[in-house]
């Protein structure tokens, strides 16, 4: 039975991550730490001997740059790369650009917790994790899965919430449990894909 790889990587630390701001679809670059995280992720995958056939990423710079740095470390800088906004971070609506501590002071700790950690309650003008799931997972099924089925090794450089949505789908995680899942910046999640099933390694 043939098997191949799917690797998901959240972008390295961005300048807004560093400032503790709700980022969403805004487009800040990486910090020096974020750049180093991307290099380490690329080196890790290179040292594991993984070779990719194509990369998917979002329309946002922090994910694109993370992916490109990783490709550079793996000596495949010119790998085919497909960008799509369906892999973008969750949109935070009215919270976008706010410091998370200031948002708690303005709206209350409990309300911010609900907006950040519930599955299907969005902040005003923004997306819930469910909304993010409803765009990211169909895109995964339509665009990424056929490449895996064609025995290609696929790298996805995206964002905490779009990747949480995909992980929920791949691992059949409940709506209750997925809100507890954190995806670290620059830390590759490696799956073996074989005959329709995904095994995290």
> Per residue in 55-71, pLDDT tens?
999 999 999 999 999 99
- Is there a catalytic annotation at residue 11? yes
**Both tokens of residue 71?**
């490709």
CB 90 within 8 A of CB 131: yes
Which structural domains are found in the chain, ordered by start? 4-17+31-91+129-200 (3.40.50.1240)
Q: Is 116 annotated as a binding residue?
A: yes
Going by DSSP bridges, is the β-strand pair 4-10/189-194 parallel, antiparallel, or unpaired? antiparallel
Q: Which of 73, 89, 127, 147 is catalytic?
A: 89
DSSP β-bridge partners for residue 173: none
Q: Is 113 annotated as a binding residue?
A: no
Q: Looking at the predicted structure, is the pLDDT value of residue 1 above 60?
A: no
Q: Is 161 annotated as a binding residue?
A: yes
> Per residue in 138-182, pLDDT tens?
999 999 999 999 999 999 999 999 999 999 999 999 999 998 899
- The pTM for the full model equals 0.95
Burial 151-185, CB ≥16 within 10 A → b, else e: ebbbbbbbbbbbbbbbbbbbeeeeeeebbeeebeb
CB neighbours (10 Å) of residue 13?
21
DSSP β-bridge partners for residue 54: 154
Q: Which of 11, 127, 147, 159 is catalytic?
A: 11
Instruction: Give the mean pLDDT of the chain.
Output: 96
- In this prediction, residue 2 carries a pLDDT of 67
- Is there a catalytic annotation at residue 89? yes
């Amino acid at each position: 039975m043939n098997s191949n790889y799917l690797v998901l990587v959240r972008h390295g630390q961005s300048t807004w991550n560093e400032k503790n701001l709700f980022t969403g679809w805004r487009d800040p670059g990486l910090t020096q730490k974020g750049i180093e995280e991307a290099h380490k992720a690329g080196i890790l995958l290179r040292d594991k001997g993984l070779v990719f056939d194509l990369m998917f990423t979002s329309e946002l710079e922090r994910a694109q740059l993370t992916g490109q740095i990783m490709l550079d470390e793996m000596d495949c800088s010119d790998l085919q790369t497909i960008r799509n906004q369906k892999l973008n971070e969750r949109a935070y609506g009215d919270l976008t650009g706010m410091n998370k501590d200031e948002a708690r002071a303005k709206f209350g700790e409990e309300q911010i917790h609900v907006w950040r950690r519930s599955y299907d309650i969005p902040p005003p003008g923004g997306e819930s994790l469910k909304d993010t799931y409803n765009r990211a997972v169909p895109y995964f099924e339509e665009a990424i899965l056929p490449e895996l089925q064609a025995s290609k090794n696929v790298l996805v450089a995206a964002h905490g919430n779009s990747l949480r949505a995909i992980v929920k789908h791949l691992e059949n995680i409940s709506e209750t449990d997925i809100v507890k899942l954190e995806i670290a910046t620059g830390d590759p999640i490696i799956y073996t894909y074989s005959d329709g099933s995904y095994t995290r390694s």
